[in-house]
Amino acid sequence: MVFCLTQAATVTRPHSTHSSTGLLARTAALGILTAGPVFVFELGDQIPAIYPASDLFLAPFLAKVAATIDEVLHQHGLADDDRLFFAAFTAVTGFGLLLSGLMCVVAARVKLANLGALLPYSVLCGFFTAIGILMWTLGFSVDTGHKVGDVVLVVVST
């Protein structure tokens, strides 16, 4: 539940006059309700205590997707249309997950399950560090309602 809320709180719509945190939390919860049992059903016999939770790794990407959709809708004077926003957001997120899910299946079938291990170690380090920093900045946004970059710009300009 906490992970759903955290996922939802990181996704912001700067041009919308009302918050979508509740709907986004439900979107994250829907992932747990539908995808979570797949993990328990498929692997629960062999891996104890799986407890699937909304993956916060996706938060920076979803935040960017939401901001892009919000920006385009704002340009067309539709920033407050929740139906259009959620239809585009879930369709795009679904497409991304469909693509990565299929790639996971293909990677497993062609004996490339250890794909991550094929990348240079230093690249993996940089990649995960960047995601870690992005996660922290999202935590900052949840608390303050501002982006770290905006705050830094204000400080620099003063």
Partner 1 sequence: MMISALIRHAPSVVIGVIMHVLGPKNLFWVIALVGWTVGGSYLVMWLTGTTLQRAQGWNWFLQPSDLAVNEDYSSGSYGPPLPFGVLVSLARGDVYWEAAKATIPTVLALAFLYVIRCSLHSAALKKNIRNVTRKRSETPSPPLSSKKRAAPKEPPTPPKPFLTLGYILEHGYGYSQLIAAIAGGIAVAPSVAASLTLFKLGAESKAPQFGSCVLVLLFYLTNFQFVQYIPKPAFSCLMVLAGLDMIKTWVVGSFLKTQAKMEWMVAPLLVVLAFTVGMLTAIFLGVAISTFIFVATFYRVGTVKFVGSGLTLRSTVERGFLESR
For the record, the structure tokens of 6 come out as 């955290």
Q: Pattern of binders to partner 1 over 134-153, x per CB under 8 A? A: xxx-xxx-xxxxx----x--
Nearest alpha-carbon partner for 15 in 98, 84, 94? 84
Residue 15 as a binder of partner 1 (CB under 8 A): the answer is no
- Residue 46 CB, shortest distance to partner 1, in Å, is 5
- Residue 14 CB, shortest distance to partner 1, in Å, is 14
- In the region spanning residues 93 to 132, those forming contacts with partner 1, defined by CB under 8 A, are 93-105, 107-109, 111, 113-117, 119-132
- Residue 61 CB, shortest distance to partner 1, in Å, is 4
Residue 86 as a binder of partner 1 (CB under 8 A): the answer is yes
The number of C-alpha atoms within 13 Å of 16 and in the hemisphere containing its C-beta is 22
CB atoms within 10 A of CB 19: 12
- CA-based radius of gyration for the chain: 18
